[in-house]
Structure 1
Amino acid sequence: MDIAGFPGVVGVIDGTHVRIIAPSEDEAVFVNRKNFHSINVQIVFNAAWKILDIVAKWPGSTHDARMLSESGIRQLFERRYVPANCHLLGDSGYPCKPWLLTPYLQPRQGPQLNYNRAHKTTRAVVERGIGQLKRHFHVLHGEVRLRPEKVSKVIIACAILHNICKVRQIAEPLEDGDEDEDGDNDEDGGMLTEQVLRMGMVFDPPGYPE
């Protein structure tokens, strides 16, 4: 709410790609739309750039909307484990839902344009958060030379360490203005240990804009 006056936002969601070497099995499905092999990662940040949810198992060719549709975070909202007045913000690559608000594609002057401006400013948190994560753990910036299932574990480990850095106020490698250099604005992790859950992380737990 303090960022741009957008009420009821509990998180911002986006996908980002982590480059991998060509796997020996199902190689083609790991080739993303930018024509390199990757794991597509769905990630949700709060206003303090802390990771609330991460899914890091899908091949690079998977669309963000599909990752969302099969994720636990969708179930949390649609089964009403989250209050109805709480929602996420996502880009136009996601479907608009009562709990997931996307921008107007052709906004009219007035409230719709104001909505889009507040939406863009608030959603920038996820771009900066992904940039922070990748800058802090440079392994996610380059080509990870492991099998896809091991890459997924590396990504999750980096996410946990990112939150530990936030909780302990460990200095960022760059300023908060850093954004995801991949420019992925277009999708299961397992249950976490009790200690990590106490830190506030959740990994894949079980009126619209016109």
Structure 2
Amino acid sequence: MSSSIGTDGIDGGGGDDDDANIKTVQLQNLLKLSTDLATLGQMAMHYSKTCLNKQRRQPRRIAVQTGHEWVMEKLARPKSCYKMFRMYPDVFLSLHGLLVSDYHLESTSEMNSLESLGMFLWMLGGPQSFRQAEDRFVRSTETIHRKFNHVLHCVNSLGGDIIKPRDPTFADVHPKIRDKRFWPHFKGCIGAIDGTHIPVIVPAKETCNYMGRHSYTSQNVLAVCDFDMRFTFVVAGWAGSVHDTRIFHHSILKYAATYPAPPEDMYYLVDSGYPNRVGYLAPYKGTTYHLAEFRSVRRPPSGKFEVFNYLHSSLRNVIERTFGVLKQKWRILRDVPHFKVGSQTMIISACMTLHNFIRDSKLRDKEFDKCDDNENHMPAVSRSTPLLGDVVPTSSDEGNMNDTRDRIASSLFIARQAT
């Protein structure tokens, strides 16, 4: 009996140690199993993300409001229409009708002509990028590009018909010239010529060619305008490093068939960077010229040279105000995107075409109305013409035009003394 008890007592003690070892092994196995399960879970998650989701197509964007609906909504609200398309609804619809009837603006199954024109004007006026247009109109990038280029070509075709003088003979004297300050002294004046720099993005290898004295890459655009603030001749595409006079001399030869050359005894006003030659009346050099300079000295012009320059500048600033309205309205001209040079040139020309169309419509427009109400209103615009002391190329004046300038200066000074 006791032996059995003794044996049982000894066997019971060894059994406790074995149980502890078994529990330890079981815990280790459970821990390993948990780790393996966690690893498998991570692998399953990774597989789901990288493999299964590839087979699932992302849901197509559902437009809350289609591009056509958005354009029509803006056309129904004049103030909103002007903000988005830079013109009031009546001008927009007139432009659309003309482009459709005469310049092949077409609708397609992807986008109708109203939506195409609205998108185009919205991108030029904003400016808005192609990605923004893709998001706003819920169209593919390819469709946005194709429709933009379609409208661009239509508008430039229109430009060929409206960027020109209303009367190529210049038979009628503009009411501005008949103002007592200028009449009859400037009776032969028919408009003004100048260049303006339009910032553009170009490839790195072209930076030096397009870098002008303003320290940014640009196109130097030559323009002629009349006293209604309409462009009558435009040449875009020249690199910003090229001076106005080189562009001018090249353009009047290359585009002689369309350039509105001044008739005999008539002339355009030009700044001191151009020669004083027959058909082009420049100010006296070395004498105060720009209106801002006269304002800064806080005294009226004195002497016949200053009197002439002051009134010459007062007339010639029509070209600066015209550029100002252009850039205020079509803000893509503040930094034309990275297109090919030809496309950038077409965008600039299209903006100038739209400028003329709005002006010719004789309908209300905020920017033009400000200029009509106040002849001294100058829209904010970068300076593009040389001021007193600026470095300009030496130009060759002609005796005949120097005599004309002296005669005008003398008559202005005599008239000033008589009042």
TM category, shorter: 0.7 to 0.9
Quick one: which amino acid aligns to residue 326 of structure 2?
L
Q: CA deviation at 1:35?
A: 1.2
CA RMSD of aligned residues (A): 2.6
Q: CA deviation at 1:172?
A: 3.2
Quick one: which amino acid aligns to residue 351 of structure 2?
C
What's the counterpart of residue 90 of structure 1?
A: 270
Q: CA deviation at 1:71?
A: 0.9
Which range moved further: 46-55 or 23-32? Answer: 23-32
Residue 248 of structure 2 corresponds to residue 65 of structure 1: no
After superposition, the Cα gap between the structure-2 partners of 1:141 and 1:185, relative to the gap in structure 1 and judged at 3 Å, is same
After superposition, the Cα gap between the structure-2 partners of 1:80 and 1:70, relative to the gap in structure 1 and judged at 3 Å, is same
Quick one: which amino acid aligns to residue 221 of structure 2?
V
What's the counterpart of residue 198 of structure 2?
A: 18
Partners of 1:130 and 1:10 lie apart in 2 by: 18
Quick one: which amino acid aligns to residue 12 of structure 1?
A
Quick one: which amino acid aligns to residue 98 of structure 1?
V
What's the counterpart of residue 32 of structure 1?
A: 212
Spell out, residue by residue over 1:154-180, the C-alpha distance to the aligned partner (whole angstroms, 9 max, x if none). 111111111110110243343212346
Instruction: Spell out structure 1 runs of 4+ moving beyond 4 A.
Output: 73-76
The one of 168, 176, 179 equivalent to 2:361 is: 168
SS at match of 2:311: helix
What's the counterpart of residue 381 of structure 2?
A: 181
Spell out, residue by residue over 1:50-93, the C-alpha distance to the aligned partner (whole angstroms, 9 max, x if none). 101111010000001111110127975xx996321111111111
What's the counterpart of residue 156 of structure 1?
A: 349
Quick one: which amino acid aligns to residue 51 of structure 1?
F
- In structure 2, stretches of 5+ residues that fail to align are 1-176, 288-300, 372-376, 387-400, 407-419
Paired residues, number: 189
What's the counterpart of residue 190 of structure 1?
A: none
Residue 307 of structure 2 corresponds to residue 114 of structure 1: yes
Quick one: which amino acid aligns to residue 178 of structure 2?
D
Whether the 8 Å contact between 2:235 and 2:251 is mirrored in structure 1 is: yes
Partners of 2:358 and 2:344 lie apart in 1 by: 21
Q: CA deviation at 1:100?
A: 1.0
After superposition, the Cα gap between the structure-2 partners of 1:180 and 1:17, relative to the gap in structure 1 and judged at 3 Å, is farther
Whether the 8 Å contact between 1:18 and 1:39 is mirrored in structure 2 is: yes
Quick one: which amino acid aligns to residue 112 of structure 1?
F
Provide the TM-score with structure 1 as the length reference: 0.80
Whether the 8 Å contact between 1:51 and 1:159 is mirrored in structure 2 is: yes
Partners of 1:142 and 1:75 lie apart in 2 by: 27
Q: Where do 1:136-151 residues align within 5 Å?
A: 136-151=329-344
Q: CA deviation at 1:115?
A: 1.5
Whether the 8 Å contact between 2:274 and 2:282 is mirrored in structure 1 is: yes
SS at match of 1:71: helix
Identity %: 27
Structure of higher RCO (CA pairs closer than 8 Å, 6+ residues apart): 1
- In structure 1, stretches of 5+ residues that fail to align are 187-206
Quick one: which amino acid aligns to residue 382 of structure 2?
D
Quick one: which amino acid aligns to residue 280 of structure 2?
L
SS at match of 1:96: coil
Whether the 8 Å contact between 1:129 and 1:180 is mirrored in structure 2 is: no
SS at match of 2:262: coil
After superposition, the Cα gap between the structure-2 partners of 1:88 and 1:159, relative to the gap in structure 1 and judged at 3 Å, is same
Partners of 1:127 and 1:21 lie apart in 2 by: 24
Partners of 2:193 and 2:240 lie apart in 1 by: 17
More strand by share: 1
Spell out, residue by residue over 1:129-148, the C-alpha distance to the aligned partner (whole angstroms, 9 max, x if none). 00011112111123433222
After superposition, the Cα gap between the structure-2 partners of 1:116 and 1:106, relative to the gap in structure 1 and judged at 3 Å, is same
Q: Which structure's CA Rg is the greater one?
A: 2
Partners of 1:12 and 1:81 lie apart in 2 by: 12
